[in-house]
Amino acid sequence: MASVTSDMALTDKEQAEFNLRKARLFKATIAVNVIYGVVALGVLLAVFFSEGARDLFITRFAPFTITFLFGMLLVIIWLIIVVRTFKPYKNATLKYDPYSCPDYFELERTDEKLLSTFPEEIRADMTFRCKPRVGVFGSSLHTDTTMTTPIIPTAGEWVASKPLFENVIKSVNATAGIGDDDKMSCTTIYPGLLNRKDILDNKEQQNKYRCQYIATAGCKDLNWTSVCPYPA
């Protein structure tokens, strides 16, 4: 199966979460440094102004004092490094099975000859396609009872200039030499292509294209509960 790149820019939500985490880490570092600083200053003043404290910290507990001060310095340096090198992480983007099919559809491998006709830039995402199970939908996914021509919606997001059509459907259906049964329609779905385009184009809603595909103005007789349980 095709892999999905993860080195994408942070979304606004992820950037805000990163800024908040870094601010909290910075405040925590300041608080720890202040506490250590107050303790160190107290020890230093006690040594300067008290003979008993000088004898305690420098003579009898000298190993403890040295270890404490050295450890405190290391902790401060470590916290500063952590804050300076703190990096954001990208939330997992693969939230849905890239080759999940609509309900009562089956995944099948695309014929090699057909696959070779598609543009090279999308070919890797066309390796598999979803087709309806025999006897489930009758003629409801076709234009007539002869079931020779599948429905290719012409409203909603299927209209030219709409993102779903321009970014996904157009590159497939405009391919020369393929029949209607091999175009993206209500009977033929290329889930890998939809999945990759959802990830690249819809960072805040990574099932958007697939939900639009089966929306009221699209293939409204389909359900895709594994990806879009609540289509518009």
Tens digit of each residue's pLDDT (9 = 90 or more) over 152-179: 999 999 999 999 999 999 999 999 999 9
189 exposed, middle or buried (CB, 10 Å; 0-12, 13-18, 19+)?
Answer: buried
Helix count (H) and strand count (E) of the chain? 9, 2
229 exposed, middle or buried (CB, 10 Å; 0-12, 13-18, 19+)?
Answer: exposed
Measure Cα distances from 177 to 114, 121, 181, 183 in Å.
9, 17, 12, 10
* Contact call for residues 156 and 217 (beta carbons, < 8 A): yes
Q: What is the residue-level pLDDT of the chain in tens, covering all 232 positions?
A: 333 334 445 667 767 777 888 788 888 888 888 888 888 888 888 888 888 887 888 888 888 878 888 888 888 888 788 777 777 655 544 457 889 999 999 999 999 999 999 999 999 999 999 999 999 999 999 999 999 999 999 999 999 999 999 999 999 999 999 999 999 999 999 999 999 999 999 988 889 999 999 998 889 989 999 998 877 6
